[in-house]
Homo-oligomer: A and B are copies of this chain.
Amino acid sequence: MSVEFFTAHETILNQALDAANARGYWSPFSEMPSPRVYGETANDEAKSSFEAQRGKSFSGLNAGTNALAVNEVSPFDGALGISYPKASVEALIASSTEAWKTWRRAGPRAWVGVSMEILHHLNRASFEIAYAVQHTTGQGFMMAFQAGGPHAQDRGVEAVTYAWQEMSRIPTDTQWIKPQGKNDPITMNKHFSIVPRGIGLVIGCSTFPTWNGYPGLFASLATGNTVIVKPHPSAILPLAITVRIAREVLQEAGFNPDVVMLAVHDAKDNMAQELALRPEVKIIDFTGSSANGNWLEANARQAQVYTEKSGVNQIMIDSAEDLKGVARNIAFSLALYSGQMCTAPQNIYVPAAGIFTAAGHVSFDEVAAAIASSVEKLMSDPSKAVEVTGAIQNEATEARIAQARALGLPVLAESQLLEHPLFPQARVRTPLILRASANDAAIGKEWFGPIAFIVATDSTAQSIAIATKMVQQHGALSLAGYTTDAAVRAEMQDAAEIAGVSLSLNLTGAVFVNQTAAFSDFHGTGANPAANAALSDSAFVANRFRVVQTRWHA
């Protein structure tokens, strides 16, 4: 069965290999929540099923005592009240180890086939996952569908693709024939086995549980490891659905479904750390705070640890053709999901003396005002605005807006409370934009959420220098620049390469610095403190398995 899965998905896999090497646009999934693609009734069914799940226990998972995850609250409309089976660390490790015994022998085609089949099933469940993502993360529905569904699945396929690329280059059997001059050659038979490392632990985040979770989940699974998925206690549902679907496919393929397990826990216990330090856990994929990520890197020494942590994302404005286009593009980036993307910009550097545009010189204040008023315009119709901003995922992020406000910096755009037309309880806020100087300590840390600083610098040279230093010290997942000057552009590019961060130049259209596309854009570089890996590349997969060879005389 599992080999049939491989055959069924081989064409897509080969297209994916080509796409990853060409790095142009490609996706096996439709990103539009279209009834024609996903089924006429898909949306309604998913919505009803989400509503029906509220207040009930979730089934189809690994065994455990049913425990109410009290922390799972929709940022739109209150507690989900869903209970999940809770198992001990000991029980999880034991079951995962047991399931590994047959899974590890199944080989690359089975691992890859099953992984692709799971992703195929996940795609069909995109609406179900979208409602789960929306009501745990606070994303607007469209983002929840796209980023939580097809785009996350893209990143899953991408990880499987890299895994297959690395594994398939190792021949299973070969002959080594060494000439011996006039004598007969020495001939050895050699067999190469792909040997997975053991258990992979995926530690999910509260904002993009599937998008950030799938690369590690599928990179580990496709290389023959079993996987324990530990969601953030406030965003369990999207990964619970994912694990349920994975288990269904595993069972269908004849494997122990415990190859993929869910580990739920209370926000206050230390189950994540306990799991992370278990000797059986050989791989950890983590998305979350720098404190937790750095702790894992320092302490989970028995495992390969892949982390995506926090950082300070920045925009350098030197000059522009069309300031309005610049301001519109930046405004959208600031408002999108209320700055709760790991790629959302925070510090915007503009020379105090202003910039040149096609329409002539523009002062610092005019640049700042253009961005602020673009944000205000974007937020002017609440019913449209809430689809961009979504809701604030948690109270700590909401509190951070007040903390930023209390810095006492000049306010360029005030953070407004918006009323969501459908969800009156929702925490919806417009971005707070403050004016800062290059010396303000506040710009030297991450302000996760809808908080941005427009920073007056001495010059573009200083903007670039500060941006470089910030990336090197605090990390960054994105960097943007605006310039019409080829020399400045080269300086920005050089700075990005030295600091090790991806650069988006002169974005004024329908592409935003926050977004990266699977198969084309690397998410993270692994070259600055915000992440020790990139999604996805060879390095992300090649150490999740090892090769053990046997040789003998022919």
Interface set of A (CB-CB < 8 Å, partner B): 21-25, 166, 169-171, 174-179, 186, 188, 190-193, 195, 197, 297-298, 301, 493, 496-497, 500-511, 517, 520-522, 525-527, 534, 537-539, 542-543, 546-553
Q: How far is the CA of A528 from the CA of B170 in the complex (A)?
A: 20
Given known A23-B171, A24-B176, A539-B543, contact A552–B186 (CB-CB < 8 A): no
Q: Which residues of B contact A537 (CB under 8 A)?
A: 542, 547
- Given the contacts A166-B538, A548-B525, A23 and B503 also touching, CB distance less than 8 Å: no
- Taking a contact as CB atoms closer than 8 A, the residue among B25, B188, B497 that contacts A511 in the complex is B188
Nearest residue (CB) in B for A552 is: B505
B549 touches A500 (CB 8 A): no
Residues from chain B with a CB closer than 8 A to the CB of A174 are 22-24, 520
- The residue that A509 contacts in the complex, of B21, B546, B553, with Cβ under 8 A, is B553
A505 partner residues in chain B, CB cutoff 8 A: 550-552
Instruction: Find out whether the CB atom of B506 lies under 8 angstroms from the CB atom of A190.
Output: no
Query: Across the two chains, which residue of chain B brings its CB closest to A498?
Result: B195
- Are B550 and A534 touching (Cβ within 8 A)? no
Q: A171-B23, A186-B510, A298-B301 are in contact. Are A550 and B177 (CB under 8 A)?
A: no
* Besides the known contacts A22-B171, A195-B527, A527-B548, 9 further A-B residue pairs in the complex with CB atoms under 8 A apart: A23-B170, A24-B174, A24-B177, A25-B176, A176-B517, A186-B511, A195-B497, A525-B547, A534-B546
Instruction: State whether B550 touches A503 (Cβ < 8 A).
Output: yes
Q: Which residues from B are CB-within-8-Å of A23?
A: 170-171, 174, 176, 190, 192
A contact face: mostly helix, strand, loop, or mixed? mixed
- A500-B437 Cα distance, complex, nearest whole Å: 56
- State whether B506 touches A552 (Cβ < 8 A): yes
Which of B169, B177, B546, B548 contacts A25 (CB under 8 A)?
B177
CB-CB nearest in chain B for A528: B546
Residues of B within 8 A of A521 (CB): 190, 549, 551
Asked, given contacts A502-B549, A506-B553, A538-B538, whether A520 binds B186 with beta carbons under 8 Å apart, the answer is no
Q: Whole-angstrom distance between the alpha carbons of A330 and B501 in the complex? A: 53
Contacts of A176 in B (CB 8 A): 23-25, 517, 520
Per the bound structure, the CA–CA distance linking A174 and B297 in Å amounts to 34
**Complex interface: chain B residues within 8 A of A506 (CB):** 552-553
Interface centre among A170, A197, A542 (most CB of B within 10 A): A542
B550–A178 contact, CB under 8 A? no
Residues of B with C-beta under 8 A to A25: 176-179
Contacts of A525 in B (CB 8 A): 195, 546-548
Q: Would you list 22 pairs from A and B whose C-beta atoms are within 8 A, ordered by A residue? A: A21-B171, A22-B171, A23-B176, A23-B192, A169-B538, A188-B511, A195-B497, A197-B527, A493-B550, A500-B546, A500-B548, A503-B550, A504-B550, A505-B550, A505-B551, A506-B552, A506-B553, A511-B553, A525-B548, A526-B543, A539-B539, A539-B543
- Give the distance in Å from the alpha carbon of A508 to the alpha carbon of B552 in the complex: 9
Q: Are B520 and A547 in contact (CB under 8 A)?
A: no
CA distance A505 to B527 in the complex (A): 43
Contacts of A503 in B (CB 8 A): 548-551
Q: Which residues of B contact A502 (CB under 8 A)?
A: 548-551
